[in-house]
Amino acid sequence: AFWVGISIGGLSSFYSELMKGLGAGGRLWELIEKKPQLPFNGGKDVFRGALEFKDVEFAYPTRPETSIFKDFSLSIPAGSVMALVGPSGTGKSTIVSLLLRLYDPISGTITIDGFDIRQLNPLWFRTKIGTVSQEPILFSCSIAENIAYGAEDPSTVTAEEIQKVAEIANANSFIRDFPKGFDTVVGEKGILLSGGQKQRIAIARALLKVSHILLCPFPTPFVTSALDAENEYLVQEALDRLMEGRTVLIIAHRLSTIQNADFVAVLGQGKILECGKHEELLANPNGLFRKLMQKQAFLQNNDTCALDLQSRE
Ligand code: ATP
């Protein structure tokens, strides 16, 4: 409403007033014009996706007195899968918010391939981050359009590219079984898909995104027991293919989601209390992670992680 009230004629004087208000340096321009400062190699970016949080201190602006992170450091090598675990309220989701630059740390740095993410254009940076959640959102349009949505410019995606990612995501065969194939409309106005089918379409969509970082905020195991065994296998296989070559951060609210992680970090008291290779942490009899696993196994003796723990002992 503020902008609507300004007539075109008054716009230029308003703009100069605004620039004066912002200071002669024109910081607004600087922000709009900001280009990614990552090195480019003959037009191809050499973004690999190594993530590092270094001595991060953070409190939400609305609760400055409550520190969420004090001395938080975490390093995720490019192309590896890190699962972040920890009790409720320790700040797992906050880490995702910081990565997406919904907030900036009070002190300390978050870098990607050594570049402070504050130096990068946030919109550009977000295009490099893919996400897969347990409840993927499909739009009321064709399956092809739903998949193409993952690309930077959906209008340029070819039918071959869509089929290729659908194949990798184990979605091709069920899509072809529909009379209208990739033109089948899904969602409220069309065919209702099963949970596993939706997940595979979401994975195909994520495959189209040229992302080097994948965030998986899984509130419960992604591959749930609600899926039948075949569906479960197909979804897990598609997910493994999506993770390949990407730096993956799994926010594991349940311990059973982390079986495929290379590294596990245990979060508590505003910092990483324990971090290491999955098997090593599990093998440490006095380790926190092992205790967490045992506790969960005790609480939910039907959970897959309980079976896992037993089979490793
Ligand atoms: P859970 O496993 O329950 O999802 P979590 O580990 O993801 O928890 P966060 O959601 O990151 O934890 O929350 C960490 C702390 O920050 C909590 O005390 C929460 O109440 C607080 N918090 C989260 N979001 C906000 C916000 N927007 N403003 C103020 N405080 C917040």
What pTM was computed for the model?
A: 0.74
Nearest to 87 by CA among 303, 277, 273, 234: 273
**pLDDT mean values, one per 10 residues, the chain (313 residues):** 34 40 41 46 59 95 94 92 86 87 92 86 76 79 93 90 96 94 86 86 89 70 59 83 88 70 89 90 86 70 41 35
Ligand 1: distance of its center to the CA of 95 in Å? Answer: 10
Give the span between the Cα atoms of 217 and 159, in whole angstroms: 30
- 67-76 vs 51-59, strand pairing mode: antiparallel
CA atoms within 13 A on the CB side of 100: 13
> Within its chain, how far is the Cα of 148 from the centroid?
18
Residue 312 is which amino acid? Answer: R
7 Cβ contact partners less than 8 Å away, ≥ 6 residues apart: none
Q: Which two tokens stand for residue 206?
A: 């994520």
pLDDT confidence of residue 27: 43
Q: What per-residue confidence (pLDDT) applies to 130?
A: 82
Look at residue 108 in the predicted model and tell me its pLDDT.
Answer: 97
How high is the ipTM of this complex? 0.98
pLDDT value, residue 159: 95
Ligand 1 contact, 254 CB (< 6 A): no
DSSP per-residue string spanning 155-202? GG--HHHHHHHHHHTT-HHHHHHSTTGGG-BBSTTSBPPPHHHHHHHH
- Hey, which of 68, 215, 255 would you mutate to test ligand 1's pocket, going by the most ligand atoms within 8 Å of its Cβ? 68
pLDDT at 252: 76
Burial 37-75 (b: 16+ CB within 10 A, else e): ebeeeeeeeebebbbbbbebebbeeeeeeeebbbebebb
Q: How many helices (H) and strands (E) would you count in the chain?
A: 12, 12
Whose CA is closest to atom 10 on ligand 1?
93
Q: Is 90 close to ligand 1, i.e. is its CB under 6 Å away?
A: yes
